[in-house]
Structure 1
Amino acid sequence: MIAGDLLQQFYNLTDTLIVGKFIGSGALAAVGSAYSLMTFLISVFLGLSMGAGVLFSIELGKENMHRLRSAILHAFFLIMAITAVINVLLFLVTDPLLHFLSVPAEIYSYMKAYLIIIFAGLMATSLYNFFACLLRSVGNSVIPLVFLGVSALMNIGLDLLFVPVFQWGIEGAAIATVIAQYVSGIGILLYFLTKCRRFIPKAEERRFDAGVLRDILGLSCMTCVQQSCMNFGILLVQRLVDSFGTITMAAFAAGVKIDTFAYLPVQDFGNAFSIFISQNCGAGKVDRQRKGFRAATLISVIFSVLISLLVVVFAGPLMRIFIRADETAVLASGIRYLHIEGAFYMGIGCLFLLYGFYRGIGRPGISVILTVVSLGTRVVLAYLLAPVIGEAGIWMAVPIGWFLADVIGYGWYFLKKSNWFPCARVM
C-alpha cells in the first residue's frame, strides 16, 4: 500500500518537478495550489471507497460472500454516480473556486488551464481508488501497485515529452497526468472483471438491497466526511497561503510534496491497520485487535520521529529538488516550513493510526470528531497567527492541531477501550 501510494504521488510530483524547472515559479505555484484542491476532491471519492472497504473486509472476515458481492455492486454504482455529479459541478464552478482560493492574478490563467484538464481525469481516479480499496480489503495489495507503477512511468515519460519537447506548457503536464490516470483506472477495472470473478455479483445478487446500501452509506459517508474535512483544512490553509503571494505559494507547493512523501508511509500504515482491525473485528478476534493497536502505535511513533529528523536536517537539499537555486526567497520560505512543520510528523502519524482504528471497528464518527478538532485548531490558529508573525504562524498551527486531536483520540481509547473492540452494530 505504501509503495502504491508513493507511485500515485508521482502524478502531481512529476508535474511539480518539470513545471518548476522548465516553466518557472509562477506555474509551480499554480500546480501546487491546484494540488491542494485536487487532494480535497479526491479525498471525497477515496473516503467513500475506504468506508465501503471496511464493510468488504468485515464480510470477508465473516466469510459471507453473498453479502460481500452485493456490497461491491451497490458501492460501485453509488460512488461512480457521486463522482459523475461532482465532476459536472466542478466544470460549472471553476472560476468561483479560483476566486475562493484567492489565486493571484499573475497565475490565475495558469491554474485555470491546468484544472480544466485535470478535472477530466476525476472519473479515472475514482475508478482506480474504488478497485484498489476493494482489492486491498480482500488481501490483494500487489495488483493496485502494478497498475500504478505502469501509469506513473507513463506520466513521467509524457510529462518530459509534452512540456520541454512539445512545449505545451502547464496544459501538457495536465494532459500527461490525465492519460496516466485513465491507464490505471481502466486497467484495474479490466483486471477485476477478468481475474476476480468470484467477487462479481451473480444474477440473484444484482437486486437492490436497502440494508446493504444503508450499511455502505453508514460507513462510507462518515469516512468521506472525515477524509474531506481533513483535506478541507488543507484547502483553507492553502487559501491563506495564496494571500501571501507567489513566493509563499511556491514554497508551500514544494513543502507539501515533501510532506506527502515523508508521512505517506504512516498514512498507509493507518489504512492497512484499519483493514487489519476490521477483518479481525468480523472474525471476533479481540485479542489480536488489542495487540495490533499497541504494536501499530509503537511502529508509527518510531518511524515518524526518524523521518522528522531526516527532513529537518536535509531541508535545504530537499527544497532544491523542486526549486531552482537562484530563487533564494522561495527556498528560504520552504526551508522554514520544513523546520517548523516537518519536526512534528509524530503527531500526524498517530492521528492516521487513530483514524484507521475507529474506522476499522465501525465507528467512523469518532474519526470525524478527531478530524474536526485537528482541522478547527489548525485553521483558527493559522488565521490568528499569520497576521501577527507572518507565514510561520501558518506552519505552526498545523502540528498543534495534530497533537490536540491525538490527545483526545488516545484519551478516548483508554477511557472506553473495554467497549471498543466488538464491531459496531452497522451490519
Structure 2
Amino acid sequence: MKSSKTIHMTEGNEVMQILRFMLPMLVGAAFQQLYTFVDSIVVGRYVGPVALGSVGAAAGIVNLFMALCVGLSGGVNICAAQSFGAGDEKKLKQVVANSVYVTLASGLVMGLIGLILARPILLLMGTPAENLTYALVYMRLVCGAMVITAAYNTISQILRALGDSVTPLIYIVISSLINVGMDIVLVYIFLWASQVWRSRLLWHKVYL
C-alpha cells in the first residue's frame, strides 16, 4: 500500500507530516470553491443578472446535496483510516467495496430527488418567477452529475485515509480547469447560437 505520495503519520516528525498532509487539502478546498465562483462570474458577465440570481437561488439546495456527499465520504474516510492504521487489509478492502455501493446508491437518490423535485423545491423556497427557469436548468445539471460528485468525494477520502492527499488535489485542479474552460466555451456558444436564432426569427417576421 506504500507509494511515494503516501504519508505515514507515525513515521518522522509529526508536525512536518501533518503540514505535508494538510497543505494539499487546503489548496484542494480552495479549488473546489472555484466551481461556484467561476460559474457565478461567467453567468453574471455573459448571461445577465437574472441568470446570476438564478444560480444563487439554486445554490442552497445544491450545497445541501454537496454537504451530504462530504458527510458520507467523511464516514468512509474514518472507517478506511482505522483499517489502514491497524494494518487490516481485508477489512480495508471491505470498507472500500461497501463504500462503492453506498456512494452509487446515495448519489443516484440525491440526483433523482434533484431532477424530479427541482421545481417544487425551488417554489417552496420562494424562488422568484423570473429566476425559476434558469434555476431549474442549473439545479438539474448539477443534480444530474451527483453520482460523479459523490464518487469523487468518496475516492478522495479513501486516498486521504491511506495517507495520500496529493492525488485528490491533482484531480480537483484538473477538473476545476476543465470547468472554467467549459463554462466560458459553452456559455459563449449557446449565447451565440441563441442570438443567431433570434436574428433569423426576426428576419422571418420582417420579410415574410
Question: Given the two structures, how large is their TM-score scaled by the length of structure 2?
Answer: 0.76
Offset from partner CA, 1:194-232 (integer Å, 9 cap, x none):
xxxxxxxxxxxxxxxxxxxxxxxxxxxxxxxxxxxxxxx
> What do residues 110-159 of structure 1 show as CA deviations (whole Å, max 9, x unaligned)?
11122222221111101100100110111101111111111111111111
The question of whether the paired residues in 1 share the 8 Å contact of 2:58 and 2:122 is answered with: no
Give the CA deviation at 1:36: 2.0
Name the residue aligned to 1:126.
Answer: 150
Runs of 4+ in 1 over 3 A off after TM superposition: none
Distance change (3 Å), C-alpha of 1:102 and 1:86 = same
**Which residue is equivalent to 2:160?**
136
Matched, 1:103 2:127: yes
Paired residues, number: 169
Tell me, in whole angstroms, the C-alpha distance in 2 between the residues paired with 1:168 and 1:136: 43
Q: Residues 49, 80 of structure 1: CA spacing in aligned structure 2 closer, same or farther, 3 A cutoff?
A: same
Partner secondary structure for residue 191 of structure 2 = coil
CA distance in 1, matches of 2:137, 2:80: 39
Could you tell me how far apart the structure 2 residues matched to 1:54 and 1:140 are?
A: 14
Match of 2:29 in 1: 5
2:41 match:
17
Q: 2:137 aligns with which of 113, 117, 140?
A: 113
1:285 corresponds to which residue?
Answer: none
Residue 162 of structure 1 contacts residue 168 of structure 1 at CA under 8 Å; is this kept in 2? no
Residue identity matched to 2:102: L
Alignment match, 2:113: 89
Describe how 1:397-416 pairs up with structure 2 within 5 A: none
The 2-side partners of 1:156 and 1:41 are apart by: 22
Alignment match, 2:104: 80
For residues 54-83 of structure 1, what are the alpha-carbon distances to aligned partners after superposition, in whole Å with 9 as ceiling and x for unaligned? Answer: 111112221111111111111221121122
Q: Distance in 2 between matches of 1:159 and 1:132?
A: 24
Distance 2:50 2:61 in 1: 17
Within 5 Å, give how 1:234-313 maps onto structure 2.
none
Using the TM superposition, give the Cα deviation of residue 47 of structure 1 relative to its aligned residue in structure 2, in angstroms: 0.7
Correspondence for 1:258: none
Aligned counterparts of 1:85 and 1:165: Cα–Cα separation in 2 = 32
From 167, 174, 187, give the equivalent of 1:163: 187
2:173 and 2:112 map into 1 onto residues whose CA distance is 29
Q: How much does 1:39 deviate?
A: 1.0
Match in the other structure for 2:71:
47
| 1:89 CA drift (Å) | 2.5
TM-score normalized with structure 1 length: 0.38
Residue-by-residue CA offset, 1:329-372 (whole Å, 9 max, x unaligned): xxxxxxxxxxxxxxxxxxxxxxxxxxxxxxxxxxxxxxxxxxxx
Matched residues in 2 for 1:18 and 1:64: separation? Answer: 48
Paired with 1:123 and 1:144, the residues of 2 have a C-alpha distance of 17
Q: How does 1:18-33 map to 2 (within 5 A)?
A: 18-33=42-57
Tell me: CA distance 1:125–1:160, structure 2 relative to 1, closer, same or farther (3 Å): same
Q: CA deviation at 1:168?
A: 6.9
Amino acid at match of 2:56: G
SS at match of 2:108: helix
Unaligned runs of 5+ in 2: 1-24, 194-208
Identity %: 28
Q: Name which structure has the greater RCO, CA cutoff 8 Å, separation 6+.
A: 2
